[in-house]
Structure 1
């Protein structure tokens, strides 16, 4: 017998109006009717990146019953699978083996407060940092391999605390979490697109799903209704590929910028949650990755290559042959400095980054970059000047000055930390740089337990949770490198604990 809980109760277009009507994938459910459930699951997880897969594994570990992961694309992993595989872990074993004993979760939070520029949620950052070793243990327990002895200081961090997966991709983590989930009995479904939420007042009770959906064609597949007995966890990531939404929330963002995200990062689940009352925060804070290359599409290898370039090399403007920034600053600082390099007509004047070739000739980051022609081996400064149309005399002066700063271990121009810098002698590995849209700081407001907040009541929407990039307000204006993976893995642990506590509290 169908009761009041089996009714579709909300017009999803009401809260976002004409914007929702124009965006791909936003459902306009205007009729109410009795729901005949096709199936049910105790916990439904939307999205299969770091956050979703962590939540699924940990939901099973918490004994929450059946767990169903719904992924709209044709592969598992989302943006997480194609990212660089970086993970910031204070007091990780590699860090301690290197003799770095003065790090702590609080030190990480201090760095994030600086990067957040007063807009961050310190309490949330502290909760995540304090559970960082739990994220590391989750990786190790599920079989993730990290590079032996690899732990470095990345942009905006004051300590070397960033470890990296064996193959330098997030797929090393998503694959193992997926395998662990399968072993634990998690049901993973591909090509399942969320059309709408099914609500009972301020409580989510299920989802309307387009099964066998083929991105981006919303006419494909067929509709089914899946009941959520205990919880729905949104882990669908950001919206950086949704050009209409990007323009709506931040008209100042250069629409010509490339994007590192997977094609499915379009945010329609976020909009649907907003339509059901979920409170959005910081939607206009969209971060660019300063390590982007104009010579490759999407995420690419530039991020990996520049983990050498920022530390051992130098960034030079092609306009005047001079340095123009602290190469080891945070993403926002570097991106803004890079994008000031413009030709007279306003077009990008792509700066170059270069470092010594001989020390890294066999490094896979260099081998791949040279192979794919998004970097070049160049024998001399004169050749660099000629190839990239840089004033040769000024370039040489800049390198001579830079080499003196390397010897002095002090950078009076930009106050860059010079502990890893190397004198530039050639031959060189040279690449061009230009920021790419990378991460959405904005999303749904949650409490510290990952409960989604209803903007109409400022209370949690019952049984609805969100983790990872779909959430907003955590990092503030800029997110530090290697902290997204940490956040996603940790919040996957925390949300499972929250769901269990909420169930016990309701009994």
Structure 2
């Protein structure tokens, strides 16, 4: 008798069609209407990045029945496909082969709690970390390959625990998971925009979808109603490309910042869930990646190139030729210090980052960056100083000071860990840097098993789940590098078990 009580609520989801969204003046309204279902599936997953693909794959492994994945854009993968392919895994086989035997999920979470600056959720982070190795092994089973012998200590981590895909892209993970899901019988629909949820009281029973949707036109496509027998999983990522939401939640975001996200990261489904009573947290916590380059748009190659600089090279201000930060700290710290470099008119004074070319002449991170002109090979300190209008004497003095600290294995200026720092000498690989808006720490509040909580009573909203960047309150003020892939894949495993238990 479920259809008798179904109501279609027209809330924020209907109003937030795209980047030029407007917000409803009043709370969500409802109109009595019998829903004629066009299709029925056991599990409906919204989003096809790491989280959505893992949830789909593991839903099939848990024998949850028919699984439908809805992706509003024309391609599978979302932000995950353009991710840099970094994956934090305590006690991964490469780490163990390197002789690092004292890592653990607890050690990873300890680093994440520090990065979260008192605002992170230890229970949520532990739930994710406990599934790190299983997520890695599942990647390998699905055909994902990782760089041989590559395991690195990245910003904010106290140990080397980050592996990386062979070609340095998250697309290697999303493509392999997609192919596996297709073999399992998962149904994928692209250009499918979820306009609203169908609720029976506080229980979600289905979704209203526009098929053949043309981004960002919220009125395009043909409407269908999809019934979900066992649950709807929100795996839509963040909203960093939605300028309306960004400015609403954090008007302090620097207008000089570009954004690394795919164009579809606009957050409509999160807002739709909120209009139906889902609790949101930390929506103003929007992270910037300190590894951006003003010489390329979007995610680009700078993330990969600077993974060398942070360890081996140095960053200096073009204003005085001096270092101004610990290059190996987390994103929030580094972004704030980089963006403090300003000319008197407050325009960006893009700092430069560099390392030894002869240490990496054939590295694809170098060849790609130089090819695409977001980095340059410079044969002397004088050439570098002239190119970026820096006092050559000051620049040389600070390189000499860096080399002294390398020899001493101690950085008295900023406390940088110097174990991987190199003595710098020309020729150099040089790039300019500037932060880019990258990740939303805020989103829907869930329990540790992925169930969405209601704002009215903090209870569970039946059959509604959220995982990955669409959730909030997990990472606190900033997320550590290499943990997005981990969270999405791990919570896909967790939520599939949750749905099975609930069903």
> What's the TM-score, normalizing by structure 2?
0.97
Q: What residue in structure 2 maps to residue 322 of structure 1?
A: 322
Q: Quick one: which of 21, 35, 39 aligns to 1:24?
A: 21
Contact (CA 8 Å) 1:80, 1:171: kept in 2 or not?
Answer: yes
Q: Aligned partners of 1:454 and 1:25: how far apart in 2?
A: 24
Cα shift at 1:67: 0.2
Q: What residue in structure 1 maps to residue 133 of structure 2?
A: 133
Q: Aligned partners of 2:277 and 2:2: how far apart in 1?
A: 25
Q: Does 1:203 align with 2:200?
A: no
Give runs of aligned pairs for residues 105-124 of structure 1, distance below 5 A. Answer: 105-124=105-124
Structure 1 segments unaligned to the other structure (5+ residues): none
Cα shift at 1:339: 0.5
Q: Aligned partners of 1:94 and 1:18: how far apart in 2?
A: 48
Task: Give the number of equivalent residue pairs.
Answer: 500
Compared with structure 1, are the counterparts of its residues 333 and 306 closer, same or farther at alpha carbon in structure 2 (3 Å cutoff)? same
Q: What residue in structure 1 maps to residue 438 of structure 2?
A: 438
Q: Aligned partners of 2:382 and 2:20: how far apart in 1?
A: 50
Classify the secondary structure of the residue corresponding to 2:136: helix
Report runs of 4+ in structure 1 exceeding 6 Å deviation: 16-22, 25-29
Q: Aligned partners of 1:488 and 1:6: how far apart in 2?
A: 32
Classify the secondary structure of the residue corresponding to 1:42: strand
- CA RMSD between the two structures: 1.7
Cα shift at 1:138: 1.1
Cα shift at 1:317: 0.2
Cα shift at 1:392: 1.2
Q: Deviations over 1:426-465 (max 9, x none)?
A: 1000000000000000000000010000101211110000
Classify the secondary structure of the residue corresponding to 1:117: coil
Q: What residue in structure 1 maps to residue 11 of structure 2?
A: 12
Contact (CA 8 Å) 1:20, 1:26: kept in 2 or not?
Answer: no
Q: Aligned partners of 1:32 and 1:52: how far apart in 2?
A: 32
Q: Aligned partners of 1:416 and 1:234: how far apart in 2?
A: 39
Q: What residue in structure 1 maps to residue 469 of structure 2?
A: 469
Q: What residue in structure 1 maps to residue 232 of structure 2?
A: 232
Classify the secondary structure of the residue corresponding to 2:124: helix
Q: Deviations over 1:474-505 (max 9, x none)?
A: 000010000011010000000000001111xx
Q: Aligned partners of 1:429 and 1:437: how far apart in 2?
A: 25
Q: What residue in structure 1 maps to residue 370 of structure 2?
A: 370
Cα shift at 1:255: 2.7
Q: Does 1:47 align with 2:47?
A: yes
Q: Deviations over 1:393-416 (max 9, x none)?
A: 111110000000001111010110
Compared with structure 1, are the counterparts of its residues 19 and 365 closer, same or farther at alpha carbon in structure 2 (3 Å cutoff)? closer
Q: Deviations over 1:256-307 (max 9, x none)?
A: 3100000000000000000000101000000000000000000000000001
Compared with structure 1, are the counterparts of its residues 314 and 276 closer, same or farther at alpha carbon in structure 2 (3 Å cutoff)? same
Contact (CA 8 Å) 2:48, 2:77: kept in 1 or not?
Answer: yes
> What's the TM-score, normalizing by structure 1?
0.96
Q: What residue in structure 2 maps to residue 91 of structure 1?
A: 91
Q: What residue in structure 2 maps to residue 392 of structure 1?
A: 392
Q: What residue in structure 2 maps to residue 381 of structure 1?
A: 381
Q: What residue in structure 2 maps to residue 216 of structure 1?
A: 216
Classify the secondary structure of the residue corresponding to 1:414: coil
Compared with structure 1, are the counterparts of its residues 30 and 255 closer, same or farther at alpha carbon in structure 2 (3 Å cutoff)? farther
Q: What residue in structure 2 maps to residue 280 of structure 1?
A: 280
Cα shift at 1:217: 1.6
Contact (CA 8 Å) 1:26, 1:272: kept in 2 or not?
Answer: no
Q: Does 1:263 align with 2:260?
A: no
Cα shift at 1:24: 2.9
Q: Deviations over 1:207-255 (max 9, x none)?
A: 0000000111223211000000110000000000000100000111113
Q: Aligned partners of 1:438 and 1:150: how far apart in 2?
A: 25
Q: Aligned partners of 2:193 and 2:3: how far apart in 1?
A: 26
Classify the secondary structure of the residue corresponding to 1:3: helix
Classify the secondary structure of the residue corresponding to 2:258: coil
Q: Aligned partners of 1:393 and 1:22: how far apart in 2?
A: 48
Cα shift at 1:6: 3.4
Q: What residue in structure 2 maps to residue 429 of structure 1?
A: 429
Cα shift at 1:471: 0.1
Q: Aligned partners of 1:473 and 1:242: how far apart in 2?
A: 20
Contact (CA 8 Å) 1:2, 1:35: kept in 2 or not?
Answer: no
Contact (CA 8 Å) 2:7, 2:31: kept in 1 or not?
Answer: no
Q: What residue in structure 2 maps to residue 68 of structure 1?
A: 68
Q: Aligned partners of 1:106 and 1:284: how far apart in 2?
A: 28
Compared with structure 1, are the counterparts of its residues 2 and 56 closer, same or farther at alpha carbon in structure 2 (3 Å cutoff)? closer
Q: Aligned partners of 1:362 and 1:2: how far apart in 2?
A: 63
Q: Aligned partners of 1:3 and 1:20: how far apart in 2?
A: 27
Q: Aligned partners of 2:29 and 2:403: how far apart in 1?
A: 64
Give runs of aligned pairs for residues 331-410 of structure 1, distance below 5 A. Answer: 331-410=331-410
Cα shift at 1:19: 8.3
Contact (CA 8 Å) 1:452, 1:460: kept in 2 or not?
Answer: yes
Classify the secondary structure of the residue corresponding to 1:31: strand
Compared with structure 1, are the counterparts of its residues 466 and 92 closer, same or farther at alpha carbon in structure 2 (3 Å cutoff)? same
Give runs of aligned pairs for residues 162-181 of structure 1, distance below 5 A. Answer: 162-181=162-181
Q: Aligned partners of 2:362 and 2:246: how far apart in 1?
A: 40
Contact (CA 8 Å) 2:382, 2:392: kept in 1 or not?
Answer: yes
Q: What residue in structure 2 maps to residue 457 of structure 1?
A: 457
Deviating more after overlay: 124-133 vs 318-327: 124-133
Contact (CA 8 Å) 1:23, 1:245: kept in 2 or not?
Answer: no
Q: Aligned partners of 2:381 and 2:99: how far apart in 1?
A: 37
